A = this chain, B = another copy of it.
Amino acid sequence: MRYELYYWTGIQGRGEFVRLALEDAGADYIDVARKRGDKAIMPFLHGKQEGALPFAPPFLKAGRLVIAQTSIILAYLGPRLGLVPGGQSAEIYAQQLQLTIADFVAEIHDTHHPIASSQYYKDQRAAARKRTQAFRDERLPKFLGYFEQVLERGNGQRALSRHSYVDLSLFQLISGLDYAFPNAMRRLQTRTRRLRALAQRIDERPNIAAYLASPRRIPFNEDGIFRHYPELDPTA
């Protein structure tokens, strides 16, 4: 099966969680918009295609099936790409963890866009400072502490009993947070030891290392979810 991934060009965004799974598994896929441009996405959003109506990218075409929402794409791909342990309870737990990552990602995005996604960052900078302070003080340690505890309950190294798409997504989270908030992340280093060890191991997986070194990996930038604005990440 050749999978077709549809996601905006120019940013890693939510599409990156899907890319990492496809790349890690060595799956056959096309990153459609990067081949044909963002306009390839529009017929789906405008309801010109049969089947499911996506609200937004990313969505995956698998044969005739159109699957939107990152977490559901991964829940679908997991068993097919060998990226989730077998059994109902493991699959459900993986989905729950992935959705909690999605909730965290939405909060990370809103640190720089607390008022409206449609407005420029510079026009909501005052609110962004306030939101990001609460994020750094409360939400960042809470979510990372939660995932650290998840690894402890797994086998100490992984979220589940074996390698999974959740581990790949945790790698992406840590990478993005290190890019956006290097100072805040440094202060949390001793409380995120298991997450850091996991991220390191994922970084060294041959398919992931090859992907990260390739032009297919879009660099982090200030159009995506994880943005580095020095005023939102003070040194202390």
A38 within 8 A of B: no
CB <8 Å contact, B99 and A52: no
User: A110 to B110, alpha carbons, bound, how many Å?
Assistant: 10
User: A75 to B71, alpha carbons, bound, how many Å?
Assistant: 13
**How far does the Cβ of A141 sit from chain B's closest Cβ, in whole Å?**
13
14 contacts between A and B (CB under 8 A): A47-B149, A47-B153, A51-B89, A52-B89, A52-B96, A55-B143, A68-B100, A71-B99, A72-B99, A106-B106, A114-B114, A116-B135, A116-B138, A119-B134
Per assembly, the copies of the chain total 2
A residues bordering B, Cβ < 8 Å?
Answer: 47, 51-55, 65, 67-69, 71-72, 75-76, 88-89, 92-93, 95-96, 99-100, 103, 106, 110, 114-116, 118-119, 124, 127, 130-131, 134-135, 138, 143, 146, 149-150, 153
**How far does the Cβ of A143 sit from chain B's closest Cβ, in whole Å?**
8
User: A106 to B134, alpha carbons, bound, how many Å?
Assistant: 17
User: A47 to B151, alpha carbons, bound, how many Å?
Assistant: 12
